[in-house]
Structure 1
Amino acid sequence: MREFTSPPLASSAPAVGGLADVVFDHAQEDPLHIALGRKVDGQWTDVTSAEFCAEVLALAKGLLAQGVRFGDRVALMSRTRYEWTLFDFALWTIGAQVVPIYPTSSAEQVFWMLHDAQVSSCVVEHEDHAMTIGSVIDRLPALERLWQLDAGAVGELTAAGAHIEDETVHRHRRAVTPDSVATVIYTSGTTGRPKGCVITHANFMFQCDTIVRRWEPVFHTKPGDEPSTLLFLPLAHVFGRMVQVAAVRGKVRFGHQPDLSAAALLPDLAAFRPTFFLAVPYIFEKIFHAARRKAELGGRAGPFDKAADCAVKYAEAQEQKAFGLGPGPSAALRMQHGLFDKLVYAKLREAMGGRVRHAMSGGSGMDRKLGLFFAGAGVHIYEGYGLTESTAAATANPPERTRFGTVGQPLPGTTVHIAEDGEVWLHGAHVFQGYLGDPKATDAVLHDGWLATGDIGALDEDGFLTITGRKKEILVTSGGKSVSPTQLEERVRDHPLVAQCIVVGNDRPYIAALVTLDSDAVEHWLSMRGKATPAPEDLVRDPDLEMEVRRAVVAANTLVSQAESIRTFRILAHQFTEEHGLLTPSLKLKRKAIEQAYSAEVEALYTS
């Protein structure tokens, strides 16, 4: 199939006004509704619609009092926290454009984005961020104001705007239209300088309202309960931003968690008890591997593996039934599944707060078997696909039936087209307006309203999309063989000891790989074998460890022909990190940077 269109939702209201209007509407219609959870002194406290609206209004007054005007670009550099959402909606209330910046960005990256967007004001989280901006401020003549969250920015601005009338703010708010620019989000930049994606209020409205209406059953543990989610995705990324806006528009209570470590995230999941959450595949992989390690430490690795196998078979049987290809789980499988639900799956769900029954995944591809496992364990994951340029999701698996291993069908009102060379093209009201100040780059990806994504994919007979790679990432060996590295890398990463894998081989005689290790998994693996923890440089030469990684490579090679297979690999002593410029903030590999940083290791793959 070359093209598939999902019909728009019936009676979709035309977009009017701006994103901040809903904050004021909810405060008037249902002032006591619990809109957000906010962590104060280690405890979660409720924030009503009326309270949130009052804070947004007071902050908007302060921003006006300090000179922020309609159309100004204001940068936000912070981790995911309550104040980010507060500033987003306050800035949108007065018609300003928000420029999110990853809190881990380097001084040069910060300079480029602030300079390119001609940012006039900036909000940072703490002193380190202020110092980062301070190091380049002499080259930013347009930057006039800097506020620091940890230094009382909200209180300072609220006090500064106390004399401004409500009507002054509402006058600005009423001037915002759906076509007004809401945000300029800079791409992660796997190659070259990041480009500023111009996204309007209408782009977000279409995206978020479509998801809220179409996937509404996903937000609940059971019909009729109050939906809630814990937002731990970075708000500098379009995925996290979409979750935030959709939660506010859909009256979904949500809280913020900036720390993705298990030590911080798991207690907050237990305390906040979300009914669903949205994450990248990496989070689900960590949850699965942590659960298995815990089982192995308790001497229950065998039962856990049997439970995992049962979950996969159970979900697969349900999937086949949903598509009319089978009768569903057999009586024996249902009985076995019920037993494991009490012994294994319930504990896994309890670790996620106890109420989670649904989740959504995006940002990168999820292994089919992992999705089946979670579905069989009682947490159904709906995988989707999108880009910053499509205001996050463009496709997602529908609530009533999931085809695991795919990224679903187009959102209602969206069309997916597969070009002759296999590139995925998108059309819909969520497609961005273009790259800020870069018409050449815009013309390269926008064609009469169609977005050329740069991703390679295929549509099945039911319109479910599978992403198989990136056009720019296709490797061509010196023998002329074209190889998509993605599926090989993902299969190698399936092994619990592997953290990252990058496949190389462009203009080389064969395909090879660099592999990094998951430190938690390796520590567990060593302890289970009674081995001491050696220095990283010695660890990578452990013959037993090398054999484990070799098994992962052999498993990956079963997916491809011999000419496309990984012939050799090298285990690296340290992971690729964002701090060293080898990952984007959304954890994608910067291939050229990695190959350059490890040029000696790559060369050794072809000379040893």
Structure 2
Amino acid sequence: MSNTTLKNFKNLAQLFRDSVQTHQNEKSFLTKNSKGIFDGPTYGELYNDALSLASYLIENCGLKPQENVGLIADNRLEWILTDLAVLFSGAADVPRGSDATIKDMEYILSHADCRIVFIENSSVFKKLNSIQNKLKNIEYVILMDGTPDIYKEQKVLSFRKILEEGQTLSKDKVLARIDQIEPEDLLTLIYTSGTTGDPKGVMLTHTNVLSQIRNIPLELTKDEKILSILPVWHIFERIFEIISITFGCKTYYTNIRALKEDLQIVKPTFMASAPRLWESIFQGIQSKVQGMKGISKLLFIAALKTNRIRYNHVSVLKNLKLKLIPESFFLSVFKKIDSFLILSFVILPAKLLDGIVLKKVRQATGGHLKASVSGGGALPLHVDELFNAIGIPVLEGYGLTETSPILSMRTPEQLIVGTVGKIFPQTEIRILDIVTGKDIYPGPNPFGKKGELIVRGPQVMKGYYKNPEATEKIFQDGWFKTGDLGLMTANSYLKIVGRIKETIVLSNGENLEPVPIEAKLQESPLIESCMVVGQDKKFPGVLIVPSLENLKQYGNDLNSICKNPEVKTLIRTEISKMISDQNGFKSFERIGGFSLLDRSWEKGEELTAKLSLKRFVITEKYSKQIDRIYENGK
């Protein structure tokens, strides 16, 4: 479907209806059956089932246009069916994962005025049932999987049963509603994590999401196989669900436990991913190298080294190297001559070792992966460089839930490591000096200077639901304040360097960005996770979860490892070596102390669903360990 064709639709339901007619015989969303084989409906069958479900909601539940419908479930066929049924009804869904806390469920379903709610299983039902006296609006609970129970003296509805009943109903009302949906009508209401307060409901419209589909710089066809692993209720993963329907791709639902096996079964050509996935694979490669011996280890290390050199110098020759400030013509020519000479020596051994060693690494992803788009957090530079050098293109993108989400994205043809690509068409950005508020970009000397990133474009949300104060606070004269620190490179690519609220201000007034320090430390095979602390302190400290896998010779569990004096010495030496002048860190960025933690960080606890750090939660939870860092001094 061309961008010209996409311009003819005023809402997402019309786009889907048209796309399904084109791809009705293609398989759509597939899950593993009881035999472990991926299977699922064609697009034609998916469309008819969605119409049937929508008919039931309208006729039997009285679903009205622009009503909010709760959807608490993870990646599965019933999720996308519910999403489409609510969409075709002219309503908006309010999605959340099955790991939603009772507190979040209570707040979100009440705040969004949900009268109808779809839930995944009996586990979610138990949480919902425990707060039924606080959810006054809910009239219908629809269970996707499990045995229906009683909710407020009324039987919970079975998803399969209402789908069957809906197939006998007329589809006329649904079809009429599709054409009545206006571009600025609410499509979805996504609540942010709310780690420092109540979640805020991000209102995304049909216009917001259609702009993403029109402007995303990917050439996809119906032959693509897309592996779905990120939480589908996040807008980043959901955009790829929408892209699948738009272009008739096949989407395969998997999870982190089955990922290794499913990569081999599906052999995907594309997938959305989060930085934590690539960090995990990177750590796996490190562990594998450490466990190797003799010629195998030498070959693997040589393959990685020569291909990183090859990739680096090919990038220089193709003008795909990060440039923070403009270079003179003569310097540019000199660098290219230098790269050409180095490349002439390394190209043959790099290709030979690639065929012997790195081809096997690529096979671990199925061997057909054209690229993976990484979002939901910053991709550490060492991880970024490694996978692109190996031949697994990682296209880092940038955006927020409030921007539907993508504002910029790298492409296979314009892949500059260390950046998040070029700004999307129809999108404007400004970079403001944090102190003065004046424009750095655009400006007379706009390159290489960091500041607050603000944006304006068709993907920017309508506002926060029933929260005009928060909406007004986040907008500045029509520009959305991202809260991120960014800079524009000399080759006109955006680079994100941190979050304003993540910035640590030391007692001497120095501003410190924790992310680059954390990224460097996590290059170490001894460190599983870490978080830099030090707000209003004399020096930065760091909380560290040691790597059980790579330190098991010092203890059987993390508790014994953390108590081992040798481990503390090893970690202290590692920190000093990595956060040093030689690696580009300033004196005030040197780590003055650390604390070892005897349990791994988990999703829903210290980590968000996207596996990024919940800094506020970690700071509160490990306050005693942080205090100990500063009690001991340097």
TM-score in terms of structure 2 length: 0.87
Q: Partners of 2:364 and 2:590 in 1: how far apart?
A: 38
Q: Partners of 2:554 and 2:505 in 1: how far apart?
A: 42
- C-alpha displacement of 1:389: 0.5
* Structure 2 CA distance for partners of 1:508 and 1:338, relative to 1, 3 Å: same
Question: Of 88, 93, 99, which aligns to 2:88?
Answer: 93
Question: Of 63, 67, 76, which aligns to 1:81?
Answer: 76
Q: Letter of the aligned partner of 1:566 in structure 2?
A: I
Q: How many residues align?
A: 581
* Structure 2 CA distance for partners of 1:129 and 1:560, relative to 1, 3 Å: same
Question: Which structure would you say has the larger Rg?
Answer: 2
- C-alpha displacement of 1:359: 1.3
Residue 237 in 1 paired to residue 240 in 2?
Answer: no
Residue 575 in 1 paired to residue 600 in 2?
Answer: yes
Aligned counterpart, 1:556: 579
CA contact (8 A) 2:371 2:412 kept: no
Question: Of 282, 299, 304, which aligns to 2:300?
Answer: 304
Q: Letter of the aligned partner of 1:29 in structure 2?
A: T
Aligned counterpart, 1:588: 612
Q: Partners of 2:480 and 2:506 in 1: how far apart?
A: 29
Aligned ranges 1:46-445 → 2 under 5 Å:
46-67=40-61, 68-151=63-146, 153-211=158-216, 214-216=217-219, 219=220, 226-257=223-254, 259-261=255-257, 264-299=258-293, 300-323=296-319, 326=336, 330-421=343-434, 422-445=451-474
CA contact (8 A) 2:230 2:610 kept: no
Q: Partners of 2:114 and 2:480 in 1: how far apart?
A: 27
* Structure 2 CA distance for partners of 1:174 and 1:548, relative to 1, 3 Å: farther
* Structure 2 CA distance for partners of 1:144 and 1:597, relative to 1, 3 Å: same
Aligned counterpart, 1:606: 630
Deviations 1:193-226 (A, max 9, x none): 2100000111111112311xx221xx58xxxx82
Question: Of 451, 472, 482, which aligns to 2:501?
Answer: 472
CA contact (8 A) 1:183 1:200 kept: yes
- C-alpha displacement of 1:568: 1.0
**Deviation larger for 434-443 or 36-45:** 36-45
CA contact (8 A) 1:23 1:49 kept: no
Question: Of 591, 600, 610, which aligns to 1:566?
Answer: 591
Question: Of 545, 548, 568, which aligns to 1:546?
Answer: 568
Q: Partners of 1:88 and 1:499 in 2: how far apart?
A: 37
CA contact (8 A) 1:229 1:277 kept: yes
Q: Letter of the aligned partner of 1:188 in structure 2?
A: S
Deviations 1:310-330 (A, max 9, x none): 222122122212217536672
> Does 1 or 2 have the higher relative contact order (CA < 8 Å, sep 6+)?
1
* Structure 2 CA distance for partners of 1:16 and 1:352, relative to 1, 3 Å: same
**Deviation larger for 318-327 or 341-350:** 318-327
- C-alpha displacement of 1:12: 7.7
Q: Partners of 2:457 and 2:67 in 1: how far apart?
A: 27
CA contact (8 A) 1:15 1:202 kept: no
Q: Partners of 2:604 and 2:412 in 1: how far apart?
A: 38
Structure 2 residue runs without a partner (length 5+): 148-157, 321-331, 435-450
Aligned counterpart, 1:17: 10
Q: Partners of 1:149 and 1:177 in 2: how far apart?
A: 30
- C-alpha displacement of 1:161: 1.9
Q: Partners of 2:67 and 2:38 in 1: how far apart?
A: 34
- C-alpha displacement of 1:353: 1.2
Q: Letter of the aligned partner of 1:359 in structure 2?
A: S
Q: Partners of 1:170 and 1:155 in 2: how far apart?
A: 22
CA contact (8 A) 2:213 2:243 kept: yes
- C-alpha displacement of 1:412: 1.8
Q: Letter of the aligned partner of 2:33 in structure 1?
A: V
Q: Partners of 2:112 and 2:58 in 1: how far apart?
A: 20
* Structure 2 CA distance for partners of 1:578 and 1:399, relative to 1, 3 Å: closer
Tell me the secondary structure at the aligned position of residue 158 of structure 1: helix
Deviations 1:303-348 (A, max 9, x none): 2222222222122122212217536672432212222222222111
Q: Partners of 1:338 and 1:551 in 2: how far apart?
A: 36
* Structure 2 CA distance for partners of 1:137 and 1:15, relative to 1, 3 Å: farther
Aligned counterpart, 1:40: 33
Deviations 1:351-385 (A, max 9, x none): 11121131111111112232222122221111111
CA contact (8 A) 2:144 2:160 kept: no
* Structure 2 CA distance for partners of 1:31 and 1:578, relative to 1, 3 Å: closer
- C-alpha displacement of 1:162: 3.2
Aligned counterpart, 1:516: 545
* Structure 2 CA distance for partners of 1:409 and 1:40, relative to 1, 3 Å: same
* Structure 2 CA distance for partners of 1:591 and 1:38, relative to 1, 3 Å: closer
- C-alpha displacement of 1:46: 5.0
Deviations 1:13-49 (A, max 9, x none): 5363322323322332332233333322211125322
Q: Partners of 1:101 and 1:499 in 2: how far apart?
A: 28
- Give RMSD over aligned pairs: 2.2
CA contact (8 A) 1:73 1:119 kept: yes
Q: Partners of 1:563 and 1:532 in 2: how far apart?
A: 32
CA contact (8 A) 1:198 1:434 kept: yes
* Structure 2 CA distance for partners of 1:439 and 1:362, relative to 1, 3 Å: same
Q: Partners of 1:395 and 1:545 in 2: how far apart?
A: 42
- C-alpha displacement of 1:606: 0.9
**Deviation larger for 37-46 or 469-478:** 37-46
Deviations 1:477-498 (A, max 9, x none): 2222221212112211222332
- C-alpha displacement of 1:134: 0.9
Q: Partners of 1:579 and 1:253 in 2: how far apart?
A: 30
- C-alpha displacement of 1:525: 4.3
Q: Letter of the aligned partner of 2:227 in structure 1?
A: L
- C-alpha displacement of 1:105: 1.7
**Percent of pairs with identical residues:** 26
CA contact (8 A) 2:276 2:612 kept: no
* Structure 2 CA distance for partners of 1:322 and 1:66, relative to 1, 3 Å: farther
Q: Letter of the aligned partner of 2:579 in structure 1?
A: A
- C-alpha displacement of 1:442: 0.5
CA contact (8 A) 1:38 1:47 kept: no
Q: Letter of the aligned partner of 1:129 in structure 2?
A: V
Q: Partners of 2:489 and 2:204 in 1: how far apart?
A: 30
Q: Partners of 1:435 and 1:49 in 2: how far apart?
A: 33
* Structure 2 CA distance for partners of 1:552 and 1:387, relative to 1, 3 Å: farther
Structure 1 residue runs without a partner (length 5+): 1-8
Aligned counterpart, 1:5: none
Q: Letter of the aligned partner of 1:301 in structure 2?
A: K
